[in-house]
Structure 1
Amino acid sequence: MHPKQICDDLAFLGSPLVLDGDDLYIENPENVYPELEEFVQSYKKRLIQYLKGGYSVQDHKVKQTIDKIINYFMGIDQEMNPKIDDWFNHDYDSATKAARLLVLFWENGWRELKESVSNYESEETDRLSIEIYDRAMSYFKGNKV
Structure 2
Amino acid sequence: MHPKQIIDDFKSMGATFVLESDELYIDNPENIYPELEELAKSYKARIVAFMKGNYSDQDHAVKQTIDKIVNCFLRTDEVVNQKIENWIGDDPVSVELILTLFVELGENGWMNLKESISNFENEKTDKLSKEIFDRAMAYFKKGA
Q: Flag whether TM exceeds 0.5 (same fold).
A: yes
The secondary structure found in structure 1 opposite 2:18 is strand
Q: Which residue of 2 aligns with 1:87?
A: 87
Within 2, Cα distance between the matches of 1:18 and 1:11?
Answer: 11
* Structure 1 ranges of 4+ moved more than 4 A: none
Q: TM-score, normalised by structure 2?
A: 0.97
Q: Which residue of 1 aligns with 2:115?
A: 115
Within 1, Cα distance between the matches of 2:96 and 2:74?
Answer: 16
Q: Which range moves more in the overlay, 119-128 or 75-84?
A: 75-84
The code of the aligned residue for 1:2 comes to H
Count of residues paired in the alignment = 144
CA shift for structure 1 position 143: 7.2
The secondary structure found in structure 2 opposite 1:77 is coil
Q: How does 1:96-115 map to 2 (within 5 A)?
A: 96-115=96-115
Q: Which residue of 2 aligns with 1:4?
A: 4
Gaps spanning 5+ residues in structure 1: where? Answer: none
The secondary structure found in structure 1 opposite 2:19 is strand
The code of the aligned residue for 2:86 comes to D
Q: TM-score, normalised by structure 1?
A: 0.97
1:56 lines up with 2:36 in the alignment: no
1:46 lines up with 2:46 in the alignment: yes
The code of the aligned residue for 2:29 comes to P
Within 2, Cα distance between the matches of 1:29 and 1:81?
Answer: 35
Alignment deviations for residues 106-127 of structure 1 (CA, whole Å, 9 cap, x no partner): 1100111111100000100000
The code of the aligned residue for 1:28 comes to N
- Aligned CA RMSD, in angstroms, stands at 1.0
Identity, % of aligned positions: 56
Within 1, Cα distance between the matches of 2:95 and 2:133?
Answer: 12
